[in-house]
Amino acid sequence: MKQVFQSYSTGRLSVEDVPAPTLRPGGVLVHNRFSIISSGTERHAVETARKSLLGKARARPDLVAKVADKIRRDGLIETIRTVRARLDTPKPLGYSSAGVVIEVGEGVRGLRAGDAVACGGGNYACHAEIVFVPQNLCASVPAGLPLEVAAMSTIGAIAIQGVRRAECGVGDVTAVIGMGLVGQLAAQILCAAGCVAVAFDPSEAVVKIARGWGLDECFA
């Protein structure tokens, strides 16, 4: 099967022929029909990978802290080996997809071969022809819902989680800062929930998109 990978040492993207994943207990094999390119998240990953080691360190101070902890725990030589191995290992991209169940693993309930499902999760719902997904990271697609729409489910769930964490209620005036894919969805969810959503983004192009579906308060 074909799958998209990225080299974290060079940033190079490639489509590779790789063996299909094996079925494991607690999950399902899915023949992907659509996978979503999350433009902001994946562009950031590609741009970070193309940086020098110093640039990567500046971009990901959280990983620098983990490296420092590993040096203290395992020593410098072992840490260098681990970091080099991580940089040289191709990284799968994608985390939101939809397709049809091929096979169901032991212990899975409520799903069977032929079911349409939406899938989520890094290293699971990848840009690949066939993926293995744990049951708790996939959901049945309602009859009549196109799979290209169902493939957006994980990104929609991220937007909904943001709205829930903010504890927004009917009539609240809310600011959505950043009108990328998640921001566009979050603003629409807020409006549907009875909130007043005010959108901000430095890009006039994405602000124009928000105005296009009816959001009045938009600022570049």
Q: What digits encode the pLDDT tens for the residues 90-108?
A: 788 899 999 999 999 999 9
pLDDT at 162: 93
Q: In the structure, what pLDDT confidence band is assigned to residue 56 with cuts at 50, 70 and 90?
A: low
Copy the structure tokens of residue 2.
């074909």
Q: Higher confidence at residue 59 or residue 173?
A: 173
179: nearest Cα among 212, 158, 209? 209
Q: Is a pLDDT exceeding 80 seen at residue 39?
A: no
**Burial tier of 62 (Cβ tally within 10 Å: 0-12, 13-18, 19+):** exposed
Q: Higher confidence at residue 115 or residue 90?
A: 115
pLDDT at 144: 93
3-state SS, 133-150, equals EEHHHEEECCCCCCHHHH
> Measured between alpha carbons, how far apart are the two ends of the chain, in Å?
43
Gyration radius from the chain CA atoms: 20
pLDDT at 87: 59
Q: Is a pLDDT exceeding 70 seen at residue 112?
A: yes
Angle between helix axes 61-74 and 76-88 (nearest 10 degrees) is 140
Q: Higher confidence at residue 56 or residue 139?
A: 139
Q: Higher confidence at residue 77 or residue 159?
A: 159
pLDDT at 74: 76
Q: What digits encode the pLDDT tens for the residues 132-162?
A: 999 999 999 999 999 999 999 999 999 999 9
pLDDT at 75: 81
Q: How much is the pTM? A: 0.74
Q: Whole-number mean pLDDT of the chain?
A: 86
